[in-house]
Chain A
Amino acid sequence: MTKPILQVEHVKKYFPITGGILGKKIGDMKAVDGVSFHVNEGETLGIVGESGCGKSTTGRMLLRLIEPTEGTILFDNQDLRALPKKEMRKVRRNIQMIFQDPYASLNPRHTVEKILEEPLIVHGIGNAAERKKKVSDMLEVVGLTSYHARRYPHQFSGGQRQRIGIARALMTHPKLIIADEPVSALDVSIQSQVLNLLKDLQKEFQLTYIFIAHDLGVVRHISDRVGVMYKGRMVELAAAEKIYQNPLHPYTQQLLAAVPIPDPEYYQEGAEAAIQFGTLPSPYVIDDSWMNIDSERDDLVEVEPGHFVACRLK
């Protein structure tokens, strides 16, 4: 049961910062700075963090849509970084991605049928008749009907489009799905439909999810384990219950305190104090001196079984 399907070790992504007339490299933007974690078969790992923390870059690196600068990614005991491009394409049959914006991630000129058929053609699965059958079956699975196959993306609502995005990801029967903010563009009532669908599909197809999101309520609902990212590092990683009931890292604590709870009578102890009334000096410099931590050099340390924290108080 707890066999890791994916192991990520010290993965880094540095983007060059260029300057001057000649565009010489003058520094590194450390988008992801040494992240390690593993994902077990059949579980959901949630990755939360605020904008710019590196969570999406991490997700994309797992598929090598962005090439990592350093580190190893083992999928099914296969080192993905060592694979040539052609082999990597084959692996993508088993790792698929669901994107945030269902408006932008579906080709507006293709019918739903063509969109869903494409991954099968790319990976050489089935003949034309079989593919058609698979498309209409998959539409049923995600709660649409084969009647929708002839339509174009603009004819669907946001929730339906995200269902098409999910169907496309499932076409090749992948083992691992990386979902990057899959519900954040959806209305509340539609969001819960899609979350339930993702859970049902996980059971039906024994899927493993990496669920990247900024909404802490959504992440708790869907995840077995949760990793919290901050400034390109993973600062805390533990079972969902542990993170939400006993957050240890100061950043996790602050993040949880900041979430508005949909209950007017609920009073969160210490929440007021946790909201830092200070301001950021500029979008590029984050002042975290108040947290009293040294975020530059901390590695994850296991403080209790399965609960990892990166925090060395100054």
Chain B
Amino acid sequence: MKGESVLEVKNLRTSFFTDDGEVAAVDDIDFYINKGEILGVVGESGCGKSVTSLSIMGLVPSPPGKIVGGEILYKGEDLTKASEKRMRQIRGNDITMIFQEPMTSLNPLFTIGNQIMETIRLHNKWNKQQVKERAIEILQMVGLPRAEELLNEYPHQLSGGMRQRVMIAMAMVCNPQLLIADEPTTALDVTIQAQILKLMKKLNQDYQTAIMMITHDLGVVAEVCQRIVVMYAGKVVEEGDIATIYRNPKHPYTIGLIKSVPDMRKKVDRLYSIPGNVPKPGSIKDGCRFAARCEHAFDRCFRETPELYQTGEGQKVRCFLHEQQGGVSE
């Protein structure tokens, strides 16, 4: 359900200009994130989910990348038109991001304290003592023991789970409105993943920070998210609240994706699998991006690109089958 949104992405197009021409990694996508909600963005490699998050942060490597169209509205302000100076104010303060591999996103040459306090100093005019106190407070908040000693330690002295906690601490230190988490638990063991997800849910509840959770893991989405956006080959193919999407997925891709995941609770003889391969970004120009792998595809799917059709309360599907209400759902 759309409420007061903290971020709205409208008709965003991000392209990479390569030797082979323009490749649209993100091709005309729309979505929004409400205040204080956790939105899951799901898709396979090359679907554009990471490029979307980099576009929001203004971190698309340029060249070759460029936002070629659309708007990213943060509280009404269009970030695609914001100056680099303004973006610096927003990054780390209003919108923050954590990445998949916590080791590569922490600088190995600086202490944990140094890196956390840098963020605080950049966005606040506090004295040394205040900065240090805040750093200790935030480390305790993310469940790290010996916070004071940790300030003087280096990233290599910590385990993967602890590093990801430090990353979350750095992201949360200025009480952001939106936290973008790009596969935050993919590199972690499952027991550590469970702890990190629990922590993120807790922070979301305690501080009303909206979270955009980018992942390929449908289990993670089911665990923490309230709404979900499914992406395929640079397009949003389905959107809706979590219960609806899992109980009643409508896009053939979403249906296939949910059916392909082996469920730990029951044993099936054969897994469902979507035929074909994940397309390379920009390789499909005309028609529905999923048509070549879709068992319901008909002529029109290969010629025209379907719109996102509203099919129910808060659910949207990009598929001709759902152009009118009452299309085939299975």
A216 pairs with B264, CB closer than 8 A: yes
Q: Mark B254-266, 1 if CB is under 8 A from A, else 0.
A: 0011101111110
Contacts of A51 on B, CB cut-off 8 Å? 189
A219-249 residues at the B interface, CB under 8 angstroms: 220-221, 240-241, 244
Q: Count B interface residues, CB 8 Å.
A: 51
Q: How far is the CA of A214 from the CA of B222 in the complex (A)?
A: 20
Do the beta carbons of B273 and A193 come within 8 Å of each other?
yes
Q: Does B44 contact A (CB under 8 A)?
A: yes
B262 touches A259 (CB 8 A): no
Answer whether residue A300 sits at the interface, using C-beta atoms and an 8 A cutoff.
no
List residues of B (112-158) whose CB comes within 8 Å of A's CBs: 143-145, 157-158
Point out the residues of chain A lying under 8 angstroms from B189, CB to CB: 50-51, 214
Q: Which of B145, B195, B197, B262 contacts A276 (CB 8 A)?
A: B195
A261 touches B44 (CB 8 A): no
* Cβ A261 vs Cβ B263 within 8 A: yes
Do A262 and B261 form a contact, CB below 8 Å, given A187-B45, A193-B273?
Answer: yes
Contact B144 A279, beta carbon cutoff 8 Å? yes
Checking B158, B190, B272 against A50 with a beta-carbon cut-off of 8 angstroms, the contacting residue is: B190
Closest-CB distance, A49 to chain B (whole angstroms) = 9
Q: How far is the CA of A160 from the CA of B280 in the complex (A)?
A: 14
CB under 8 Å from chain A, chain B span 59-80 = none
Let me know if B174 is at the binding interface, CB within 8 A.
Answer: no
Point out the residues of chain B lying under 8 angstroms from A279, CB to CB.
143-145, 161-162, 165
| A263 CB contacts on chain B under 8 angstroms | 222, 246, 263
* Cβ 8 A contact of B267, one of A160, A220, A280: A220
B270 part of interface (Cβ distance < 8 Å): yes
B260 and A189 form a contact (CB under 8 A)? yes
Task: Tell me whether A192 and B195 are in contact in the complex, defined as CB-CB below 8 angstroms, given that A187-B278, A261-B265 are known contacts.
Answer: no
Contacts of B108 in A (CB 8 A): none
B257: A residues at CB distance < 8 A: 188-189
Interface string of A252-269 (1 = CB under 8 A from B): 001111111111111000
B57 at the interface (CB under 8 A from A): no
Q: Does A292 contact B (CB under 8 A)?
A: no
Number of A residues with CB within 8 Å of any CB on chain B? 48
The answer to whether A259 touches B260 (Cβ under 8 A) is no
Q: Which chain A residues lie closer than 8 Å to B327 at the CB level?
A: none
Q: Please tell me if A275 contacts chain B, counting CB pairs below 8 Å.
A: yes
A189 touches B274 (CB 8 A): yes
Residue pair B271, A221 in contact (C-beta under 8 Å): yes
Asked if residues B193 and A244 are in contact (CB atoms below 8 Å), the reply is no
Q: Is A191 an interface residue (CB 8 A)?
A: yes
Question: Which of B143, B194, B218 counts the most chain A CB atoms within 10 A?
Answer: B194
Q: Min CB distance, B315 to chain A, in Å?
A: 14
Tell me if B194 and A160 are in contact (CB < 8 A). Answer: no
Contact flags B274-305 to A (C-beta < 8 A → 1, else 0): 11011000000000000000000000000000
Q: Which residues between 30 and 56 of chain B lie within 8 Å of chain A, taking CB atoms?
A: 44-45
A19 interface residue per 8 A CB criterion: no
Interface centre among A187, A193, A255, A265 (most CB of B within 10 A): A187
Within 8 A of B (CB), among A169-223: 187-193, 195-196, 199, 214-218, 220-221
Residue B250, interface by CB 8 Å: no
B217: A residues at CB distance < 8 A: 260
Decide if A159 touches B246 in the complex (CB within 8 Å).
Answer: no
Contact of B222 among A192, A258, A261, A281 (CB under 8 A): A261
In the assembled complex, the CB of A155 is this many whole angstroms from the nearest CB of chain B, namely: 12
A282 at the interface (CB under 8 A from B): yes
Would you call B161 and A195 a contact (CB within 8 A)? no
Question: Can you name 6 A-B residue pairings with CB atoms under 8 Å?
Answer: A187-B45, A192-B271, A220-B264, A265-B243, A280-B159, A283-B158
Chain B interface (Cβ < 8 Å from any Cβ of A): 44-45, 143-145, 157-162, 165, 189-191, 193-195, 197-198, 216-223, 242-243, 246-247, 256-258, 260-265, 267-268, 270-275, 277-278
Q: Knowing that A217-B219, A221-B267 are A-B contacts, what are 7 other residue pairs whose CB atoms are under 8 Å apart, sorted by A's residue number?
A: A157-B277, A187-B44, A259-B190, A264-B242, A265-B243, A266-B265, A283-B160
Question: Measuring CB to CB, which residues of chain A are less than 8 angstroms from any residue of chain B?
Answer: 50-51, 157-160, 187-193, 195-196, 199, 214-218, 220-221, 240-241, 244, 254-266, 272, 275-277, 279-283
